[in-house]
Every structure is written in structure tokens, then in C-alpha cells.
């Protein structure tokens, strides 16, 4: 990079529109959408779409609800010409959709363009010539008058050829290419010269499309340019003002939005921002930005994944995983505090209509996306995400302190592997850590019996591979089981819940236990179709985990009572 970029690059001068009104405008309705996926998008591909892919893209655009579709540059290639013919002759164009075609402002190309449209019910003929000073000087070698003449001659020819084909309902469109780099008074004067030829009326409007062929400025400058044109075009009420932002500076979406605030009626762009270089403005993002403001864009993205896969197939280009609204990762939270807030947000959302889930600007379900992949767990995650995945996938609702304890187990795993953990892996870890913990005490069976006012239990266990039978009494089965174990076990908390529904439902019991004389407490979990069995298994799980965490001396001390009992029953 240069030490002094000012020796090579010039800043974009401001427009100087002191009384601009666009900053105070609020977009309250969608613009007219025009898709140029099949033209600007198509011309920017490694391999332009073949006829089959073009048709697939066209049908997708129609299904989404786009009513103006630039389908080809018919004079550029036989494929494009034939595609227009196929659309018309095959009657593939819905009545409420208007196809559009692009041509340079050259007589032979314009004639061929009209040829491609023979028999169309309605069509937009779009003609362009570059108006920026470097193009006038370098590409065309004409002065301002010469440049205007190119546009005017083309406009005249288009008007004449349209008049010869009254069976088609024609709309005329003119683009001063590289408008973003054109002096505004000159851009307006070329457009006004074209208006004088086409003589539009409010009932029969023409389209002036003002492209940021190359995005050269901050979006506010583009908005000023559009507002300036909005004020200086002749017969503004007979003109649809269109914008066509490219994304060279990464601001095309913002530029389009500000341009609509500045007076644009129509936006040209491509799905997911395909197009020359860094792309045309992304129509999907624009539409869904409106949607999240409570304004229906008039386009249907209720199955956005299907649209994305089709577009990827047609363009043979992948969509970035972080692309707004559609990327694989945009409804995914990795970090703990985000996961926690999203989990709480989904729970709170059940009680309110207005979308308020933190960190998610849109309900994924509105776009046909599921909550399944909302939360992912890696080393940046906390208890919230883990709890959400286990709850949403397996119906396991953990008490808060168990969430904290288990997240430590997961954290050790993710720190060691560096990898993301799926819900299935979390469930396996949870089972291994709690449910299947059967060393040194393994549950075999239990038998309850009444013992006066007390609950009696006979507990069959395997202890260090030895089958034993232990008896205990208490004020309920759990208390009786604790006494039967002859361990200094204290139960701090107990929770039971159902896992699953109906005949397949199982009980999950979660206990927080400690041993007298040991400073730590831990959780034990039991799962069983029978609630008492689940509870006893939970007690054994907790006891085993405490014993596993104890050092040798502690372990011997804790097991003293049980060992004495085992000797006595031997």
C-alpha cells in the first residue's frame, strides 16, 4: 500500500445539498423490486447460467413475488436471445410479471433487442450509456453533447420500434451508467433530454435508473445525489426513479435504503448480493430489513433456505455462512451470554406477540428456519446454551445449579478438544457423567415395604462386584434408601421431571448431595420409567460421584459405615 494514497486516489466530493430532507424520512412501504439476477448477476459468473438454470432462476424469482425481472442482454449472446424467446413462446411469464432486457445505446443492438421481444405481452426495454467524465473521455471520446446525443438517438429509435409493435405494452428505461461518478447537472440534463423524446405521462411512466455502477462514496453522498436528481428531473410525476447500487465499498444495502428515503421508487439488485465484482445490492437483505421494521416487503422468503440452495445452484457460488438472514450461522449463538439471553428470550416470547428475543433481529421461524441450530456449544459457551440444547432436543430441564456444574464438565471437554459439541454429544456426556455412574455402587433392584409409620426399603446393589442386600427406613423411599446406604449422605435438594410424553415417558430425578465432613456437594441423576427407581438411582449417582471425587483417606472414612454393614451381612 502507498504511504501517501492521496497521490493516487481522490476523495468523492460532497453534493452540498444543504436542505436535504432524506435523513428525516422513514421508509413506510417497499420500493418496486427489480431483479437483475439473470442479467447483471449472470454476466458476473465464471460460467453464465445455461438455459435450464436461467429458467430455474426465473421461476424462483416469480415464486418469491418479484414483478419486474431483467431476464437477459439479448444482443450479447444467442443463449440470452433464445432465453427471451423461450420465455415468450413457452408462455412462462405470469400475467403480473414484466420482463426487462438490457441493451447498449447502439442501433444494431437495439434492433436485435426488440427482435427478441416479439410477441411479449409487456416488456421493459432498458438502454444505457455511460455518462461519467472518464467514460466520455476514455471510452467514447465524446464531449457532453456527444454523450447526450448517444442517449437521445437510442431513445428515438426505441420509441419508433415500440410504436411498430403496438401488441406489446412497452415501458422504457434509461440508465446513465456510472451515474455515481457523473456531474449531477449533466446527469439530469441527459435524463431530461431523454424525457423530451419519450414524453411520458403519469399514466405511462418511464424509468430512470441511477446506478452506482461503482460504489464510490459513503451512502449519504449517494442519497444526496438521488435527492438532488429527484428534485431536478423534468416531469418527475411521470418518472419512476430507480436505483442500482453496487457494493464496492460494502455499503450497497445502506446506499439503497438511504436512496429510497431520498426519493427512489424502485431498487434493482440481485438475490443474496450476487453481481459484478462485490455484487449488486442484496434484495433479500433489503426486503427482510423492511420486514423486521414491521413492513411487509411484498416478497416471500418464508422458505429462505430453499431459495438459497436454488440460487447457489444457479450461480454456482456459495452464500457466506454469515450472510444476513440466510447464512448457516446467523441464527446461531456460540458465546455463553448470548446463549443465555436467547434461551431466556424464547421462554419470555411465549407471552408476547412483538418479537423481543435478544440477539435475534427476526424470528427464524418466519423464514422457515428452525430453532434447532439456534444455539451451538463450544469453548465460548456457558450454561445457557448447554441447557437450551438439552431441553430443546431431549426435554431435559435442569435445575440451575446442575446447569452450572454440568457446564464445567462440558467446558473441560471443549477446552481439551477445541471443537463444537452437538446436542447428541452433550446428551452422551450428561449420561456418562451422571446417569451411568455406577462405581462403586451399582443399582440392581429395590423392594419397598411399610415399617410401622415408616417407609422400609430393601436395596439390592453390587458393590465392588459383590451382590449385597441392604435395609433402611425413613420418612419416604429416598430417605429410606439413604439410610440403607449407611453413608454420611446429606440430600440438599431434590427435583423430578418427566422426560418425553405418553407411554414413552420416563422420570428424571436430580438430587444435590453432600457427605458430612466433605466441603463439596454434587449432583446425582437417575432416569427410569419408575419415579422411585429414578430417585434411588439419582441418590446412588450422587454418592458415586462424591466418592469418585474424594481422595483415598476421605473415601475410606466415608465408606466406613457401609463396609461395616457389608461385613455384618456377609
Give binding residues for Mg(2+) as ranges: 40, 244, 246, 280
Nearest-CB residue to Mg ion?
Answer: 40
Least gap, CB of 133 to ligand ACO (angstroms): 15
36 or 310, CB closer to Mg ion? 36
Sequence-ordered list of residues with C-beta below 8 angstroms from that of 357, at least 6 positions apart, any chain:
342, 345, 346, 348, 349, 363
The stretch among 208-216, 302-310, 488-496, 540-548 that binds ligand KIV (CB under 6 A) is 208-216
Q: How far apart are CA 75 and CA 72, in angstroms?
A: 9
151 or 513, CB closer to ligand ACO? 151
- 128 lies in the site for ligand KIV, by CB under 6 A: yes
Helix axes 383-394, 400-417, angle to 10 degrees: 100
Least gap, CB of 295 to ligand KIV (angstroms): 26
- 100 lies in the site for Mg ion, by CB under 5 A: no
**Helix (H) or strand (E) run with residue 277 in it:** none
Place of cell 444505457: 128
- Contacts of 301-310 with CB under 8 Å at 24 or more apart are 301/64, 301/325, 301/367, 301/368, 302/366, 302/367, 302/368, 303/367, 303/368, 304/367, 304/368, 304/369, 305/367, 305/368, 305/369, 306/368, 307/60, 307/64, 307/271, 308/272, 310/56, 310/57, 310/60
Least gap, CB of 74 to ligand KIV (angstroms): 14
- The 3 state secondary structure assigned to 215-236 is CCCCHHHHHHHHHHHHHHCCCH
73 or 228, CB closer to ligand ACO? 73
- 175 lies in the site for ligand KIV, by CB under 6 A: yes
Question: Is the dihedral angle over the CA atoms 342, 348, 351, 357 positive or is it negative?
Answer: negative
Q: 196: how many CB neighbours lie within 10 A of its CB?
A: 12
- 40 lies in the site for Mg ion, by CB under 5 A: yes
Residues in binding contact with ligand KIV, number by CB under 6 A: 10
Got the DSSP string for 506-553? EEEEEEEEEETT-S-EEEEEEEESSHHHHHHHHHHHHHHHHHHHS-HH
Place of cell 452437538: 422
Please choose which of ligand ACO, Mg ion, ligand KIV, none residue 257 contacts, taking the beta carbon within 5 to 8 angstroms, the exact cut-off set by kind: none
- 339 lies in the site for ligand KIV, by CB under 6 A: no
Least gap, CB of 180 to ligand KIV (angstroms): 9
- For 15, the grid coordinates are 453534493
Report the relative pairing of strands 122-130 and 489-499 from DSSP bridges.
Answer: unpaired
Give residues in contact with ligand ACO (CB under 6 A).
40, 43, 73, 75-76, 104-106, 109, 128-129, 139-140, 150, 177, 213, 276
37 or 528, CB closer to Mg ion? 37
Sequence-ordered list of residues with C-beta below 8 angstroms from that of 221, at least 6 positions apart, any chain:
12, 14, 15
Q: How far apart are CA 100 and CA 107, in angstroms?
A: 18
Q: In what order do the strands lie in the sheet with 454-463?
A: 441-451, 454-463, 466-474
- 440 lies in the site for ligand KIV, by CB under 6 A: no
Least gap, CB of 102 to ligand KIV (angstroms): 6
For residue 17, give Cα distances in angstroms to 21, 180, 227, 324. 9, 15, 9, 32
- For 176, the grid coordinates are 446513465
Among 31, 211, 279, 385, binds ligand KIV (CB under 6 A): 211
Please choose which of ligand ACO, Mg ion, ligand KIV, none residue 209 contacts, taking the beta carbon within 5 to 8 angstroms, the exact cut-off set by kind: ligand KIV
Question: Is the dihedral angle over the CA atoms 279, 284, 287, 289 positive or is it negative?
Answer: negative
Q: How far apart are CA 228 and CA 311, in angstroms?
A: 36
- 268 lies in the site for Mg ion, by CB under 5 A: no
Please choose which of Mg ion, ligand ACO, ligand KIV, none residue 150 contacts, taking the beta carbon within 5 to 8 angstroms, the exact cut-off set by kind: ligand ACO
Least gap, CB of 227 to Mg ion (angstroms): 21
Least gap, CB of 357 to Mg ion (angstroms): 37
- 177 lies in the site for ligand KIV, by CB under 6 A: yes
Q: How far apart are CA 518 and CA 177, in angstroms?
A: 79
Least gap, CB of 196 to ligand KIV (angstroms): 21
Least gap, CB of 349 to ligand ACO (angstroms): 44
The stretch among 34-42, 126-134, 351-359, 397-405 that binds Mg ion (CB under 5 A) is 34-42
Asked whether 327 and 369 are in contact (CB, 8 A), the reply is: no
Please choose which of Mg ion, ligand ACO, ligand KIV, none residue 563 contacts, taking the beta carbon within 5 to 8 angstroms, the exact cut-off set by kind: none
The stretch among 45-53, 206-214, 341-349, 499-507 that binds ligand KIV (CB under 6 A) is 206-214
The annotation places the binding site at 40, 244, 246, 280
- 244 lies in the site for ligand KIV, by CB under 6 A: yes
Closest to 130 (Cα-Cα) out of 204, 196, 213, 56:
213
Least gap, CB of 40 to ligand KIV (angstroms): 5
Please choose which of ligand ACO, ligand KIV, Mg ion, none residue 407 contacts, taking the beta carbon within 5 to 8 angstroms, the exact cut-off set by kind: none
Closest to 44 (Cα-Cα) out of 312, 313, 278, 209:
278
Least gap, CB of 214 to ligand ACO (angstroms): 9
37 or 177, CB closer to ligand KIV? 177
- For 240, the grid coordinates are 419512476
41 or 456, CB closer to ligand KIV? 41
Please choose which of Mg ion, ligand ACO, ligand KIV, none residue 175 contacts, taking the beta carbon within 5 to 8 angstroms, the exact cut-off set by kind: ligand KIV
246 or 383, CB closer to ligand KIV? 246
List the beta bridge partners of residue 457.
Answer: 448, 472
Q: 130: how many CB neighbours lie within 10 A of its CB?
A: 24
Residues that bind ligand KIV (CB under 6 A): 40, 102, 128, 175, 177, 209, 211, 213, 244, 246
Residues that bind Mg ion (CB under 5 A): 40
Amino acid at each position: 500500500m502507498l504511504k501517501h494514497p492521496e497521490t493516487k486516489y481522490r476523495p468523492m466530493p460532497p453534493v452540498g445539498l444543504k436542505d436535504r430532507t432524506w435523513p428525516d424520512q422513514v421508509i413506510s412501504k417497499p420500493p418496486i423490486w427489480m431483479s437483475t439476477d439473470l442479467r447483471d448477476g449472470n454476466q458476473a459468473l465464471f460460467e453464465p447460467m445455461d438455459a435450464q438454470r436461467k429458467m430455474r432462476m426465473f421461476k424462483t424469482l416469480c415464486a418469491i413475488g418479484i414483478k419486474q425481472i431483467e431476464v437477459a442482454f439479448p444482443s450479447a449472446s444467442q443463449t440470452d436471445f433464445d432465453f427471451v424467446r423461450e420465455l415468450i413462446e413457452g408462455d412462462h411469464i405470469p400475467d403480473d410479471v414484466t420482463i426487462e432486457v438490457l441493451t447498449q445505446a447502439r442501433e444494431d443492438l437495439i434492433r436485435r433487442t426488440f427482435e427478441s421481444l416479439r410477441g411479449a405481452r409487456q416488456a421493459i426495454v432498458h438502454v444505457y450509456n455511460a455518462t461519467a467524465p472518464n467514460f466520455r473521455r476514455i471510452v467514447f471520446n465524446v464531449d457532453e453533447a456527444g454523450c447526450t446525443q448517444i442517449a437521445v438517438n437510442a431513445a428515438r429509435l426505441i420509441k419508433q420500434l415500440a410504436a411498430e409493435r403496438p401488441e406489446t405494452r412497452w415501458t422504457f428505461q434509461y440508465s446513465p451508467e456510472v451515474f455515481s461518478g457523473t456531474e449531477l447537472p449533466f446527469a439530469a440534463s441527459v435524463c431530461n433530454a431523454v424525457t423530451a423524446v419519450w414524453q411520458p405521462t403519469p399514466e405511462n411512466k418511464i424509468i430512470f435508473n441511477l446506478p452506482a455502477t461503482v460504489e464510490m462514496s459513503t451512502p449519504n453522498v449517494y442519497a444526496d445525489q438521488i435527492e438532488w436528481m429527484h428534485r431536478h428531473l423534468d416531469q418527475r410525476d411521470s418518472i419512476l426513479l430507480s436505483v442500482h447500487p453496487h457494493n464496492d465499498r460494502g455499503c450497497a444495502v445502506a446506499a439503497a435504503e438511504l436512496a429510497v428515503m431520498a426519493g427512489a421508487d424502485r431498487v434493482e439488485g440481485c438475490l443474496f448480493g450476487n453481481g459484478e465484482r462485490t455484487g449488486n445490492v442484496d434484495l433479500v437483505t433489503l426486503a427482510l430489513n423492511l420486514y423486521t421494521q414491521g413492513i411487509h416487503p411484498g416478497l416471500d422468503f418464508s422458505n429462505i433456505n430453499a431459495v438459497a440452495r436454488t440460487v447457489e445452484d444457479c450461480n454456482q457460488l456459495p452464500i457466506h455462512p454469515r450472510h444476513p438472514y440466510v447464512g448457516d450461522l446467523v441464527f446461531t449463538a456460540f458465546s455463553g451470554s448470548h446463549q443465555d439471553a436467547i434461551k431466556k428470550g424464547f421462554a419470555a416470547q411465549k407471552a408476547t406477540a412483538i418479537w423481543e428475543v435478544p440477539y435475534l433481529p427476526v424470528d427464524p421461524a418466519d423464514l422457515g428456519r428452525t430453532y434447532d441450530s439456534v444455539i451451538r456449544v463450544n469453548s465460548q459457551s456457558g450454561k445457557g446454551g448447554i441447557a437450551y440444547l438439552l431441553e430443546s432436543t431431549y426435554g431435559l430441564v435442569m435445575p440451575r445449579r446442575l446447569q452450572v456444574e454440568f457446564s464445567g464438565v462440558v467446558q473441560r471437554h471443549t477446552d481439551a478438544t477445541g471443537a463444537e459439541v452437538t446436542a447428541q454429544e452433550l446428551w452422551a456426556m450428561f449420561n456418562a457423567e451422571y446417569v451411568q455412574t455406577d462405581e462403586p455402587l451399582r443399582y440392581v433392584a429395590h423392594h419397598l415395604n411399610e415399617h410401622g409409620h415408616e417407609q422400609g426399603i430393601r436395596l439390592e446393589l453390587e458393590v465392588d462386584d459383590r451382590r449385597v442386600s441392604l435395609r433402611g427406613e425413613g420418612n419416604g423411599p429416598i430417605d429410606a434408601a439413604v439410610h440403607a446406604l449407611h453413608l454420611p449422605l446429606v440430600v440438599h435438594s431434590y427435583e423430578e421431571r418427566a422426560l418425553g410424553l405418553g407411554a414413552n415417558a420416563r422420570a428424571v430425578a436430580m438430587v444435590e448431595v453432600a457427605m458430612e465432613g466433605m466441603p463439596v456437594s454434587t449432583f446425582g441423576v437417575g432416569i427410569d420409567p419408575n419415579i422411585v427407581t429414578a430417585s434411588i438411582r439419582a441418590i446412588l449417582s450422587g454418592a458415586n460421584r462424591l466418592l469418585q471425587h474424594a481422595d483415598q483417606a476421605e473415601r475410606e472414612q466415608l465408606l466406613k459405615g457401609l463396609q461395616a454393614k457389608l461385613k455384618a451381612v456377609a
